[in-house]
Amino acid sequence: MQVKCRHRHLDSDRRCKSCGAKVDLRAPKKNKYGAKKTAVDGIVFDSKREAGRFERLKLMLLAGHISDLRADKRDLRFDLVVNGVLICRYEADFTYLRDGCRVAEDTKGFRTAAYRIKKKLMKAVHGIEIVEV
């Protein structure tokens, strides 16, 4: 059994003298709004609130109230283009179909000015109303 190095003895280049690994002494970066990353079903969410909402949406999916639930960030990016110019991108927390219409959902704790603009652009460009939870 191999013992994991604890990097207790560092040289002047911040390399461990035992294993040679470069050690980062900075504290892990904290979220600006205090959110803690949480994993559900192998998907990592940006906050506990978002993870809880995903679990409720899964129940709605099983009950047949919604369909085509997507939580993969690659599927949730929308380009907001006006007159052929990319203004910005919006990344939803979830999308799903309800009554045949695509719904973009965002789990919000704090509504920033940038978010409010992106919400209006989503409605104008894609015709999708963002539902805030």
Q: For residue 17, what pLDDT band results from cuts at 50, 70 and 90?
A: confident
Judge whether 120 lies within some domain. yes
Please tell me the predicted confidence (pLDDT) of residue 3: 62
Find the Cα–Cα–Cα–Cα dihedral 40, 44, 46, 52, rounded to 10°.
-10
Domain presence at residue 79? yes
Residue 23 sits at φ, ψ, to 5 deg, of -110, 130
Closest CA to 125 of 89, 95, 94: 89
Is the residue at 85 inside a domain? yes
Query: What does the pLDDT look like over 44-93, one tens digit per residue?
Result: 898 999 999 999 999 999 999 999 999 988 788 999 999 999 999 999 99
Domain count within the chain: 1
Does residue 7 lie within any of the structural domains? no
**Confidence class of residue 5 from pLDDT cuts 50, 70 and 90?**
confident
In a domain, 119, yes or no: yes
Q: Residue 74 has what pLDDT? A: 78
Q: Which domain holds residue 53?
A: 38-132
Domain assignment present for residue 106? The answer is: yes
Does residue 51 sit within a domain? yes
The stretch 19-27 carries a mean pLDDT of 77
pTM of the model: 0.72
The answer as to whether 42 is a domain residue is: yes
Q: What whole-number distance in Å separates Cα of residue 23 and Cα of residue 21?
A: 6
- H or E element in which residue 57 lies: helix 48-63
Q: What residue type is 66 in one-letter code? A: I
Q: What is the pLDDT of residue 28?
A: 67
pLDDT, tens only, 87-130: 999 999 999 999 999 999 999 888 899 999 999 999 999 999 99
**What's the average model confidence in pLDDT over 1-18?**
72
Distances (CA, A) of 130 to 15, 16, 58, 83: 48, 49, 19, 22
The predicted structure's pLDDT at residue 91: 94
